[in-house]
Chain A
Amino acid sequence: TQLLEQSPQFLSIQEGENLTVYCNSSSVFSSLQWYRQEPGEGPVLLVTVVTGGEVKKLKRLTFQFGDARKDSSLHITAAQPGDTGLYLCAISGGGADGLTFGKGTHLIIQP
């Protein structure tokens, strides 16, 4: 059973449209991270959410942590081709544990 479920798995939209990516689980997390990865590169941290109900904004990206800390969403406003990439949510197992990643959302923004 996948600990983190991401949806959609693939998304291709036109430049200027809005989109939302979801990360869900049946478990409660102390924190959750969102990463963006471009082909041939390592993932880059976008944001960490810690508090239930928390909303963080990063330019056109809005991240929300569910009230129960079981889910999170990433909303992109007026998507641009530069937003193309693999978006991954991840949680830490605590202590020295490495991150567990969701399967990711492959996002393509067409000009």
Chain B
Amino acid sequence: GAVVSQHPSWVICKSGTSVKIECRSLDFQATTMFWYRQFPKQSLMLMATSNEGSKATYEQGVEKDKFLINHASLTLSTLTVTSAHPEDSSFYICSARGTSGSANTGELFFGEGSRLTVL
């Protein structure tokens, strides 16, 4: 099946610094990628939709200036958490929708997730 890879798997940073998380589709082109956030013992919450070559669409309540998303190619989207604070500590997961096949039934392929801890 399709593979989506995230990097880094986990990161620890100091409060006030910025952290970049990468999401790559390894064996297919992804015109659309999605970023989710998951707090402990909770479900995944959609943060934003990343579209190749255009601006990301953010869900209500998600600060676009704090969570910068760039989708510069068909295989890579990045999420940058700017001026991170302890409340930003979470599990960030990306998913990718292919340009055919998987897009027909709403199936998405998920990355392994990136755990961010802000001290």
How far is A42 from B2 in the complex, measured between Cα atoms in Å?
A: 14
Evaluate whether A45 and B44 lie within 8 angstroms (CB atoms) in the complex, with A96-B32, A98-B49 already known.
no
Partner of B112, one of A33, A42, A86: A42
How far is A59 from B115 in the complex, measured between Cα atoms in Å?
A: 32
Residues in chain A within 8 A of chain B (CB atoms): 30-31, 33, 35, 40-45, 48, 50, 86, 88, 91-92, 94, 96-104, 106
Asked whether A97 lies within 8 Å of B49 as measured between CB atoms, the reply is yes
Evaluate whether A40 and B108 lie within 8 angstroms (CB atoms) in the complex, with A99-B46, A103-B42 already known.
no
How far is A33 from B41 in the complex, measured between Cα atoms in Å?
A: 20
Evaluate whether A98 and B110 lie within 8 angstroms (CB atoms) in the complex, with A42-B93, A43-B44 already known.
no
Interfacial chain B residues near A102, Cβ < 8 Å:
43
State the Cβ distance, B74 to closest chain A Cβ, in Å. 14
Interfacial chain A residues near B6, Cβ < 8 Å:
42
Residues in chain B within 8 A of chain A (CB atoms): 4, 6, 32, 34, 36, 41-46, 49, 51, 91, 93, 95, 97, 105-113, 115
Q: Please name the residue on chain A nearest to B4 by beta carbon.
A: A42
Interfacial chain A residues near B41, Cβ < 8 Å:
106
Asked whether B113 lies within 8 Å of A42 as measured between CB atoms, the reply is yes
Interfacial chain A residues near B34, Cβ < 8 Å:
98-99
How far is A16 from B93 in the complex, measured between Cα atoms in Å?
A: 32
Asked whether A103 lies within 8 Å of B43 as measured between CB atoms, the reply is yes
Q: Please name the residue on chain B nearest to A102 by beta carbon.
A: B43
Partner of A99, one of B51, B91, B108, B111: B108
Interfacial chain B residues near A42, Cβ < 8 Å:
4, 6, 93, 95, 110-113
Interfacial chain A residues near B115, Cβ < 8 Å:
40
Asked whether A96 lies within 8 Å of B49 as measured between CB atoms, the reply is yes
Asked whether A43 lies within 8 Å of B46 as measured between CB atoms, the reply is no
Asked whether B51 lies within 8 Å of A41 as measured between CB atoms, the reply is no
List 24 A–B pairs whose Cβ atoms lie within 8 Å, in order of A's numbering.
A31-B105, A31-B106, A33-B107, A35-B110, A42-B4, A42-B6, A42-B93, A42-B110, A43-B44, A45-B109, A45-B110, A48-B106, A50-B105, A86-B43, A88-B44, A91-B106, A96-B49, A96-B51, A97-B49, A99-B46, A100-B46, A101-B45, A102-B43, A106-B41
